[in-house]
Amino acid sequence: MNRRVYAVILASGKGERMNCGFPKQFAEIKGKTIIERSIEAFEKNENVDEIIVVSEPSTIEKIKEIVQKNGYKKVTKIVPGGAVRAESSSIGVGEVAEDDAKVLIHDAARPLVTQRIINDCITTLDSCDAVHTAIKATDTIIEAENGMMKTATERSRMMQVQTPQGFRAGTIKKAHCLAKKDGFAGATDDCGIVFRYGLADIRIVEGDRTNIKITYPEDVAVAEIFIEA
Ligand code: CTP
Ligand code: MG
């Protein structure tokens, strides 16, 4: 059975670390805004049926204009996000009616997501309820507290996570419901929430070193190099 595939694109952040005077999703990389590039990756994917954009409340109209201007046909909803990422994500997923649909949650701030990653996430959800995108860590990771090293880790076992993160809608809705009761405390990414409440085994799809998150101004230059290549 072919389950309906939704992409929830999170664009309700303020982009404070980017410090460009407006939410970073509207910054341009090689003539196109970050939000356009992120929406386009899912718009052109033949396995994605519908796109829900979660927007900063004050930029909903701006996103509507972008959707109209580009003629994106899969964007069915643009909804206002919440105070923290997990809340925005729960609002977006809440727009998906069917519990057995596949939902890919993606940071608008990762405009270079590849078609291969999107397809691998969708296919992997045929045989599990949750999928994470991650790459092997290149730097050694330590745990620290108050300026002191607390825990050493084995680099070969460490991975850096990216998005999309994919779920059966029912699984992620249940996770968000539990996280909401806890005030979304400590909730960063969606797989982290599912993991915390032990709701599903989480398979890992190989991400890509080019699938960077635009966080600081210098990340734009890196993205430009990847686009040129
Ligand atoms: N996001 C969201 N709602 C929030 C916070 C973040 O939808 N309340 C989204 C952002 O728009 C972004 C993604 O989550 O696409 C990853 O967050 P991050 O990189 O931290 O973006 P910002 O929160 O915008 O940036 P900063 O933390 O520097 O302010
Ligand atoms: Mg943030």
Global confidence as pTM: 0.97
Predicted confidence at residue 1, as pLDDT, reads 66
Domain layout of the chain by residue ranges: 5-134+161-228
User: CB atoms < 10 A from the CB of 16, how many?
Assistant: 10
Predicted confidence at residue 188, as pLDDT, reads 81
Residue with the smallest CA separation from ligand 1 atom 2 is 12
Share of the chain above pLDDT 70, in %: 100
d(CA 1, ligand 1 centre) in Å? 35
pLDDT digits (tens, 9 = 90+) for 146-204: 999 999 999 999 999 999 999 999 999 999 999 999 999 988 899 999 999 999 999 99
d(CA 83, ligand 1 centre) in Å? 10
- Rounded distance between C-alpha atoms, residue 123 and residue 14, angstroms: 32
Predicted confidence at residue 186, as pLDDT, reads 84
5-134+161-228 — its CATH code?
3.90.550.10
* Whether pLDDT at 32 is above 70: yes
- Report the mean per-residue pLDDT for the chain: 97
For range 110-120, the mean pLDDT: 98
Predicted confidence at residue 187, as pLDDT, reads 82
Sign of CA dihedral 12, 16, 20, 22: positive
Predicted confidence at residue 46, as pLDDT, reads 98
Residue with the smallest CA separation from ligand 1 atom 6 is 13
d(CA 187, ligand 2 centre) in Å? 12
pLDDT digits (tens, 9 = 90+) for 83-102: 999 999 999 999 999 999 99
Q: 155 in ligand 1 pocket by Cβ < 6 Å?
A: no
**Nearest-atom index, ligand 1, CA of 214:** 19
* Whether pLDDT at 129 is above 90: yes
d(CA 84, ligand 1 centre) in Å? 8
* Whether pLDDT at 57 is above 90: yes
Q: 215 in ligand 1 pocket by Cβ < 6 Å?
A: yes
Tell me the sheet residues that pair with 131.
166, 203
